[in-house]
Amino acid sequence: MTQYAKICVPVPLKTEFIYCFDSEKLQVIPGVRVMVPFGSRRTRGYVIDLEDSVPDSGFSVREIIRVIDKEPVFSKKDYELALWMEKFYFSSRGEILDTMIPGGRRDVGFGAVSFDGDAGGGDFELSDDQKNAVNIVTESDKGLFYLYGVTGSGKTEVFLRCAKDVIDHGGQVIYLVPEITLTHQLARQVLNRFENNVAILHSGLTDAQRITQWRRIKRGEVGLVIGARSAVFAPCDRLKMIIIDEEHENSYKSGNSPRYHARQVAQKRISDCGGKLLLGSATPSLEAWAMMKDPSRMIRLDLRQRVGGGAMPEVTVADMSGEKGIFSALLQKKMTDALGAGRQVILFLNRRGYSYYFHCRNCGFELKCPHCDVAMTYHRKSGELICHYCGSRRKPLKVCPECHSTDVMYSGFGTEQVENELMKLFPSVPVARLDTDTVSSDRKLIDRTLEDFRTGKTKILLGTQMVAKGLNFPNVSLVGIILADSGLLIPDFRAEERTFDLLVQVSGRSGRADSSGEVVIQTRMKNSPAITYACNAKTGEFFDRELEIRRQTGFPPFSRLINIVIRSRKQEAAYTTSCNLAEKLRERHGDFEVFGAQECPIEKVRENYRFQVILRSRKASSAMKALSDVLSEVKIPSAVTLEVDVDPLDML
């Protein structure tokens, strides 16, 4: 018997499509995935509903090729969430469902994280602040809480106690963490305590393993789901709490369509199910900090002391203006002292590669990627110049391509060059480097590297943001921040906030078990507010200052931004389209401002010229309505791609 199904496919069209199937041959039910023909290709589709007949549209109805799932992998509520996201993030329901649901096809062993040693049962005594936080969250009828505490103050334990209370009462919990913290350390705290009642969704799982975990969650077999950003979509029918650790992290915002923020999606899900949202960080986002000012919107819970006997580290600034080389005399001495005392060192630099700036001293030529408007980085190990935006590679230059002078040089330094210098300074000390260059070919290398550092096989751990947050190594007595300035030079109103967050988070890796922790911050911008406030541990003062600046300038959280990026390989097409869009938006009347059209700060990426139009409004609804109306009227040329980013975190 022929039946019909409404199906969403992952294309940028806000609609469902009708397909037919023989109900005697195929078991098609709402919530399963199917393979369908679409245009000249085959694609995955999501069955929304079944129909007994098809409206007379004049189009021939194509057949479903096959069914992927034996049981539903998404529900009506999941689809309703996709529809909300479609409207809020200017994406399509099919693309959103494709983002929400893992792509695996079959059940396999789900590859649980394993480790050696005792994980601990969490039976130790909580501090007074921890007890107070747990009691308020579990007993209050409010829905939004923020756990604000210094690094090492035991936020994770509070999260897990609150999660256990929910699970003990029959609910389910989603616990979101930045990807880097999905290591042995987190597994050590949850696997024994929650036994088989936990699903961990991490990047090391294959698609098949992820869909296996997904189905376990959908069947209600687990109470706790732990994962990075996309775990916010976990199909928990008994959802009662979502926890977002390190809430300020940019990794919670998707960089591709749909450009959703996990915090916003979590707020929507918790609102729909009547549960609780528990956020936490030592360095809250400015948006969260503003909400904390109003207890009717968000309840603030303070953890003021480190647990386990640790004290906040002593922070010293090393002014690099008068220094030569990568390491200041102060940092070298501190490293020698720490290593000599049998302690460990973490070094942080938010730039990978060996050097990143090629120029000719004769004519001033600067080498940029031929496909992007950015400098190429020299990687000594591979002997190549690499663009970190498009991946383009070429051999290093020894002669200026403009004037043919040999008076050329590479300047600047990344983690690869720092590693080389460390080996010269401390030839007998085991050093490990952790950045995307070292782990790109082997994701398990992260766990191995961190385990070697935890057990003391490695004495110095050098890395980018991978070593900045979420790591707890009691034997670390010194953290060195090689260059604190790079983030301050980015043309973005969040530059000071991000730099401050990084400095505080990296500094927090030191002195976790005693009072001997030290931090050395190397900088040429010692008077920057982000650096001076971080050095003096004046977190609240910094955020209040930054909040007042945002108030005066009209930037978030006192306004909402929508960044519309128009890109094309044809520069004129991108420019004309962006100007037309800006003009149409200005013709609309509403409580919003239009900025642009103008070139993006990085005008060219992957051969595409990029222009942007920015909308700013006190409330997003007015700007979103105007943009939605204009996009329904304006025809975007086929050679042009338009991307909408609501509440952007990256304006480059």
CA distances from 55 to 45, 49, 440 (A): 20, 15, 50
Task: Quote the CA–CA distance of 172 and 223 in Å, as a whole number.
Answer: 5
Q: What is the mean pLDDT of the chain?
A: 88
With beta carbons less than 8 A apart as the criterion, state whether 232 and 266 touch.
Answer: yes
| Helix axis angle, 495-507 to 539-553, nearest 10° | 170
Flag the least confident range among 50-64, 89-103, 184-198, 582-596. 184-198
Task: Quote the CA–CA distance of 563 and 546 in Å, as a whole number.
Answer: 22
pLDDT digits (tens, 9 = 90+) for 217-276: 999 999 999 998 999 999 999 999 999 999 999 999 998 889 999 999 999 999 999 999
With beta carbons less than 8 A apart as the criterion, state whether 216 and 202 touch.
Answer: no
pLDDT digits (tens, 9 = 90+) for 335-346: 999 999 999 999
Provide the 8-state DSSP code for 340: H
Percent of the chain with pLDDT over 70: 92
pLDDT digits (tens, 9 = 90+) for 400-449: 888 989 988 877 778 888 888 999 999 999 998 887 766 665 667 777 88
Q: Which two tokens stand for residue 594?
A: 């239009």
Amino acid at 68: I
Task: Quote the CA–CA distance of 520 and 316 in Å, as a whole number.
Answer: 5
- Kindly report the backbone phi and psi dihedral angles of residue 423, in degrees, each rounded to the nearest multiple of 5, phi listed first: -65, -30
Task: Quote the CA–CA distance of 390 and 387 in Å, as a whole number.
Answer: 6
Mean pLDDT of 600-629: 92
- Kindly report the backbone phi and psi dihedral angles of residue 176, in degrees, each rounded to the nearest multiple of 5, phi listed first: -95, 135
Amino acid at 251: S
Residue 331 has pLDDT above 80, yes or no: yes
User: What's the confidence (pLDDT) of residue 94?
Assistant: 96
With beta carbons less than 8 A apart as the criterion, state whether 254 and 220 touch.
Answer: no
User: What's the confidence (pLDDT) of residue 153?
Assistant: 83
| Alpha helices in 233-342, H assignment, sequence order | 262-273, 286-292, 329-340
User: What's the confidence (pLDDT) of residue 202?
Assistant: 77
b (16+ CB within 10 A) / e for 397-428: beebeeeeeeebebebbbbbbbbbebeebbee
With beta carbons less than 8 A apart as the criterion, state whether 65 and 5 touch.
Answer: no
